[in-house]
Structures are given as C-alpha cells and as structure tokens.
Amino acid sequence: MNMSCSCVNNHSPDKHVCPVNGRVYASVDCRTVLHQIKTPWQRQLPEQGYYFCTDPDCKVVYFGEDERVVMCDELHTPVGQKSRAPDRQICYCFDIRANDALAD
C-alpha cells in the first residue's frame, strides 16, 4: 500500500487557484483527499498544499499546488457542493439532504 497521510506542507498558502476554472479556493488537509478518493492506495500524494474547489460547474473537486487534480468521478461519495440537486447531501455525518434542511 502506498498511502501516506504525512503530506502536510507547512509552507503552503491557505488559498490557491483551481487549475481548471481559475478561481481561488481554500486549503484542505490531504487526509481529507485520501479519505474521499476511491483507491487511495493507488495514489501518490506529494507533500504540498491541497485545495477544495466548490464550483458546481467545475469537475475538479480537489487539486494540489502542482495542479494535479482529483475529479468528481474519482470519489466514492458524491460531493454536495458540486451539485444543485435538491436532494444533495450537505452533511455526511448526519446524512442531511438540502431539501431536508429547507423543509418547514
């Protein structure tokens, strides 16, 4: 197994530009990326900053400072922020859907 959770780079900026849509997004821990991808044991995550693209029109979910990307179809769970569907999951821990949260 090639997984490593020690991919923290203390010199990474808090925000970085998505290599696909050109917008700036906040950092995310590399462990989050490893937990979300379908086959983390097949991925090498270099020590660098990782970021979360929340744009629902962009197929990139996570990206690194070196512009490596993780696309929606590489994750084992759909990302609620990447969808506009009324039943999208907005809280994984409690399985809360957007339409449940907006119900009266």
What does the pLDDT profile of the chain (104 residues) look like in tens digits?
Answer: 444 445 555 678 899 999 999 999 999 999 999 999 998 888 888 999 999 999 999 999 999 999 999 999 999 888 988 988 888 888 878 888 888 887 75
> What per-residue confidence (pLDDT) applies to 2?
47
> What per-residue confidence (pLDDT) applies to 18?
98
> What per-residue confidence (pLDDT) applies to 1?
42
Domains of the chain (ranges, CATH numbers): 15-77 (2.20.25.270)
> What per-residue confidence (pLDDT) applies to 9?
54
The DSSP secondary structure of the chain, one letter per residue, reads ----S----TT--SEEE-TTT--EEEEE-HHHHHHHBS-GGG----SS-EEE---TT-SEEEEETT--EEEGGGBSS--GGG---TT-EEETTTTEEHHHHH--
